[in-house]
């Protein structure tokens, strides 16, 4: 009770920083509820004091939440900025540097290791930038905000559990504005489900331990449906007058059906069976490039739901 009162006194001092709507609780009331829920879930008072005492909402986080890349940039601009030639060169070098570890992880999890490296590069430039936001403050801000409050309240509870289990210290638990953490940029809930302890040291260290980083990424993808050896897809050409109503990740047909409709591969056709389920994706819109994609592409979308990112 003494700790709860102390926390409340800190919460009240910052409650004025962001306005609450008629339905939205004030910041101090919100955090008091978080404390009660986490305490009831078994989170220690020491962890709660370290995590919540003096916590402040971050207005910049809400601003960024309202501005997603697929609404502010074109597909071509996104690809040029996210996948420059030097990133591809660096990825190949990193693969060579860690080949033995990557192949061991790939063999253990049934994962194509080149995709681990690709995601590692896209997410954090191979661990060089993992974000500078306080994860607890970020997910708490988004849990307090009304737009996705239920989802982020769950993420906040997972983040508190990660601290309580000792996987990372409070001061080092930084990440993206949305709460994605470590070199693999896992949300706290993804960490709870998929983070791995490759070196068996008792910690799931996706921040500094490359074995844990690679194994966690592999576990996520295989747990989400990855099929080792299946190509992701490739660029395609559409015939004149093609029905674009068939475009989209949720529209799947056997590859043979797409080919019968006149869709053709631009590059060497991937080695897959004609009965493999495929989708037609046009991330740049009706005038942009077209791609035939398979199940592994749709699995990447479970990592990040953006077609820009997956492509």
Answer whether residue 12 shows pLDDT above 60: no
From residue 266, alpha-carbon distances to 37, 54, 254, 289, 310 in Å are: 55, 57, 18, 11, 19
Output the pTM of the full model: 0.88
In this structure, the dihedral spanned by the alpha carbons of residues 179, 185, 191 and 194, taken in order and rounded to 10 degrees, is 150
Average pLDDT of the residues in 230-243: 96
Answer whether residue 198 shows pLDDT above 90: yes
Answer whether residue 3 shows pLDDT above 90: no
Which strands form 253-254's sheet, in the order they lie side by side? 253-254, 277-281, 290-293, 233-237, 264-265
- What residues does 186 pair with on adjacent strands? 181
Average pLDDT of the residues in 7-15: 45
| Exposure string over 259-284, b if 16+ CB within 10 A, otherwise e | beeebeeeeeebebeeebebbbbbbb
Task: Write phi, then psi, for 253 (nearest 5 degrees).
Answer: -140, 155
> In angstroms, rounded to a whole number, what is the distance separating the alpha carbons of residues 252 and 136?
39
Length of the chain in residues, anyone? 311
Contact present, 114 and 105 (Cβ < 8 Å): no
Which has the closest alpha carbon to 117: 145, 147, 97, 94?
94
Average pLDDT of the residues in 123-139: 96
Residue 70's pLDDT is: 56
- The pair of three-digit structure tokens given for residue 147, joined into one six-digit string: 């737009």
Q: What is the pLDDT of residues 154-187, one digit of tens each?
A: 999 999 999 999 999 999 999 999 999 999 999 9
> How large a percentage of the chain has pLDDT more than 70?
92
Q: What is the pLDDT of residues 40-88, one digit of tens each?
A: 999 999 999 999 999 999 999 999 998 765 567 899 999 999 999 999 9
> In angstroms, rounded to a whole number, what is the distance separating the alpha carbons of residues 219 and 236?
31
Confidence of residue 6 (pLDDT cuts 50, 70, 90): low
Q: What is the pLDDT of residues 140-151, one digit of tens each?
A: 999 999 899 999
Residue 14's pLDDT is: 42
Answer whether residue 15 shows pLDDT above 50: no
Residue 66's pLDDT is: 84
Which residues are CB-contacts of 83 (< 8 A; sequence separation ≥ 6)? 122
Confidence of residue 17 (pLDDT cuts 50, 70, 90): very low
């Amino acid at each position: 009770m003494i700790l709860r009162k102390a926390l409340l006194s800190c919460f009240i001092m910052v409650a004025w920083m962001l306005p609450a709507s008629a339905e939205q609780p004030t910041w101090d009331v919100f955090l008091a509820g978080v404390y009660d829920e986490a305490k009831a879930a078994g989170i220690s008072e020491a962890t709660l004091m370290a995590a919540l005492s003096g916590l402040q909402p971050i207005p910049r986080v809400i601003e960024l939440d309202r501005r997603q890349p697929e609404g502010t940039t074109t597909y071509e601009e996104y690809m040029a900025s996210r996948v420059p030639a030097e990133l591809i060169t660096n990825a190949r070098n990193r693969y060579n540097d860690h080949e033995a570890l990557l192949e061991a992880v790939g063999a253990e999890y049934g994962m194509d290791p080149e995709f681990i490296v690709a995601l590692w590069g896209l997410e954090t430039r191979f661990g060089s930038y993992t974000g500078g936001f306080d994860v607890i403050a970020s997910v708490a801000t988004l849990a307090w905000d009304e737009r996705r409050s239920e989802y982020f309240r769950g993420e906040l509870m997972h983040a508190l559990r990660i601290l309580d289990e000792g996987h990372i210290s409070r001061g080092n638990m930084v990440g993206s504005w949305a709460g994605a953490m470590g070199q693999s940029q896992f949300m706290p809930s993804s960490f709870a489900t998929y983070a791995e302890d490759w070196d068996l040291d008792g910690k799931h260290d996706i921040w500094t331990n490359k074995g844990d980083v690679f194994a966690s990424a592999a576990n996520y993808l295989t747990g989400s449906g990855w099929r080792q050896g299946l190509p992701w897809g490739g660029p395609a050409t559409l015939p004149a007058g093609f029905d674009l109503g068939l475009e989209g990740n949720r529209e799947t047909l056997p590859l043979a059906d797409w080919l019968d409709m006149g869709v053709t591969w631009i590059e060497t056709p991937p080695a897959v069976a004609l009965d493999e389920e495929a989708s037609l994706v046009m991330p740049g819109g009706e005038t942009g490039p077209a791609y035939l994609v398979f199940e592994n592409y749709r699995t990447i979308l479970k990592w990040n739901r953006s077609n820009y990112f997956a492509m």
